[in-house]
Amino acid sequence: MSKGYDAIIIGAGIIGAAIGYELSKRGQRTLNVDMLPASGYGSTSNSCAIIRVYYSTLDGCAMAYDGYFYWKHWTDYLNAGAGETLAAFHETGNMVMKTKLNDGLRKQLAHLDALGIPYEHWTSGDILERFSFYDLTSYAPAKRLQDPDFGEPTGGEIAGAVYFPKGGYISDPQLATQNIQHAAQRVGADFLFNRRVVEIPTQGDRVQGVVLDDGSRIEAPVVVNVAGPHSYKINALVGADRDMQISTRALRQEVAHVPAPQGVDYASLACVTSDSDAAVYTRPELGNNILIGSEDPPSDEHSWVDPDDYDRNFSDQWTVQAHRLAQRFPSLGIPNKLKGCVDLYDVTEDWIPIYDRSCVDGFYLACGTSGNQFKNAPVAGKAMAALVEFCEAGNNHDARPMRYRLEHLDHEIDLATFSRLREVNQNSTFSVLG
């Protein structure tokens, strides 16, 4: 591993692997370094891997819709050979409840209209016709279990939903990452596992490569921080946090898996759901289970942690998420044996990622993915590869931000949306919904 590279990517999660793939396709010699034993072993491995097209910003929606097409045509994206085991895209669509909290998704739908992204309005009758096990009583705002008002109706019913047919989920996010790793290796990329980056040497204002925990030094004029929840530690190593207006930190999350109500074949019947009245999102999970994630309501305290030292056991957060879904599915059984996962988001102030250069020449940022960028990994890979070339060619991205033309829709993303120097975006939901 003494040879030099054109670019070193710190991290081999879904986004790190995608950046390695795209830079390699452009003829660069790349190395992804990860301290874990395989690609997609970090926070990507526990991603709910939901693919959806609605975000609070126009560029967010555009990027997600462009991303949808890579998942839809996964074999083509990877240029995968026959017989290769690939992650499956379950295109179930997404049903999002219209609530007071999300204002019936008015803002998001305006973006979708502008971009020509399809959706349908469903009445509460349409919901019940498809999912007879639903109770549409309103319980908002979400409460903790200890609250004596937990489970008490607060007036009225869910008014209906918006259904987005172009969406669903990836069954195995780690396999998807390994698919990209193999695609990248086919075009010449290298991957190094079980090695931690401990130092990022610089000379003048420019990055020189990385030093690993075994003392070895690998040279490269470009280093990309795709370290997920560890991103802030990597930025601190090289002083890249000096001018960042937007920072990143690690937020602990619990995801619950509970068996579907008796007699319900959830995988074939249900779709991905988002319900801000109950403050949970769901998707089918293997074994006729339902995966339940949290939409982070104000009643739940944020648990900011050190990514190298946090509690991986379930807490009462698991139980509250399960009970919140039980408000919607009264026949849901909640088992005593807790299943699911505990992992970390890498969160920015406005829950919108950073895809940018840094104040250190040659050091780039693809971080702060805020629990909502798995779906965008193929697009992020392409945009970051283009950004690296743009900046390395001498363009001043901070003064005149690069625009990235999406491949599947007639839209250019203004990368200033994802700048480290941006003001906090007040249009955000300030939640995992981005």
Interface with ligand FAD (CB under 6 A): 10-16, 33-36, 41-44, 46-50, 196-197, 226-230, 234, 253, 255, 343-345, 369, 371-375
Q: Which is nearer to ligand FAD, 44 or 428 (CB)?
A: 44
CA distance 295 to 324: 11
Q: Measured between alpha carbons, how far is 128 from 350 in angstroms, rounded to an integer? A: 35
Strands (E), 148-237: 160-164, 168-170, 190-192, 197-199, 202-203, 206-207, 209-212, 217-219, 222-225
Query: Looking at beta carbons only, is 13 or 401 nearer to ligand FAD?
Result: 13
* Closer by beta carbon to ligand FAD, 89 or else 345: 345
| Amino acid symbol at 88 | A
Q: Which residues pair with 8 in a beta bridge?
A: 31, 223
Tell me whether residue 25 or residue 257 sits nearer to ligand FAD (CB atom). Answer: 257
- Residue 196's Cβ-side half-sphere holds a number of Cα atoms within 13 Å equal to 9
Instruction: CB nearer to ligand FAD: give 253 or 327.
Output: 253
**Residue 15: CB minimum distance to ligand FAD, A:** 4
Contact 18, 11 (CB under 8 A): no
- Find the shortest distance in angstroms from Cβ 252 to ligand FAD: 9
DSSP conformation letters of 219-284: E-SEEEE--GGGHHHHHHHHTGGGS-SS--EEEEEEEEEEEPPTT--HHHH--EEEETTTTEEEEE
Q: How far apart are CA 357 and CA 399, in angstroms?
A: 12
Closer to ligand FAD by Cβ: residue 162 or 367: 367
Neighbours of 62 (CB within 10 A): 27
Rounded to whole angstroms, the Cα distance separating 19 from 32 reads 9
Measure CA of the first residue to CA of the last residue in the chain; give whole Å.
39
CB of 266 to ligand FAD, least distance (A): 17
Q: How far is the CB of 96 from ligand FAD (least distance, A)?
A: 14
Q: Which residue in this structure is represented by tokens 């491995």?
A: 45
State which residue, 210 or 332, has the beta carbon closest to ligand FAD. 210
CB 18 → ligand FAD: shortest distance, Å? 8
Cα–Cα distance, 309 to 311 (Å, whole number): 7
Q: How far is the CB of 261 from ligand FAD (least distance, A)?
A: 22
Residues 6+ apart with CB under 8 A from 25: 187, 385
Compute φ and ψ for 25, nearest 5 degrees: -60, -25
Q: Which is nearer to ligand FAD, 139 or 418 (CB)?
A: 418
Q: Which two tokens stand for residue 147?
A: 């609250």
CB of residue 320 vs ligand FAD: minimum separation in angstroms?
16
Q: How far apart are CA 3 and CA 302, in angstroms?
A: 43
Alpha-carbon torsion (239, 247, 18, 37), positive or negative = positive
Q: How many residues does the chain have?
A: 434
Whole-number minimum distance, CB 95 to ligand FAD, in Å? 15
Provide, rounded to whole angstroms, the least separation between the CB of residue 366 and ligand FAD.
6
**Nearest distance, CB of residue 45 and ligand FAD, angstroms:** 7
Tokens 């995988």 belong to which residue? 267
Nearer to ligand FAD, 103 or 199 (CB): 199
Closer to ligand FAD by CB, 369 or 419: give it.
369
